[in-house]
């Protein structure tokens, strides 16, 4: 994993930790929406590429969110 990928994983997991405890939203949906709205397209492409290479380090809800980004960019 490159240092850039590591930073993206860290950032995505931080987003996941924010949305995880919120009861009124599906965490994976909220994480995917946040990444879609606020991350640069190159960042989104890099996190999807990281998922394609195994997704090492992604927390489970973040992993699901990135799968959704991949399915519907």
The pLDDT confidence band at residue 73, using thresholds 50, 70 and 90, is low
Mean pLDDT over the full length of the chain: 94
The pLDDT of residue 43 is: 97
Long-range contacts of residues 14-18, Cβ cutoff 8 Å, at least 24 apart: 15/62, 16/59, 16/61, 16/62, 16/65, 17/59
Q: What does pTM read for this prediction?
A: 0.91
> Domain extents for the chain?
3-71
Q: Tens digits of per-residue pLDDT, 9-30? A: 999 999 999 998 888 889 999 9
The pLDDT of residue 30 is: 96
Structure tokens that stand for 15 in this block: 């987003």
Alpha-carbon separation of residue 45 from 13, 39, 50, 67 (angstroms):
16, 10, 9, 12
């Amino acid at each position: 994993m490159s240092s850039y990928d590591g930073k993206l994983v860290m950032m995505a997991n931080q987003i996941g930790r924010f949305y995880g405890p919120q009861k009124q939203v599906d965490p994976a949906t909220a994480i995917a929406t946040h990444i879609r709205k606020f991350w640069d397209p190159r960042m989104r492409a890099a996190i999807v590429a990281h998922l394609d290479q195994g997704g090492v380090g992604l927390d489970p809800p973040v992993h699901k969110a990135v799968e959704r980004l991949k399915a519907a960019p």
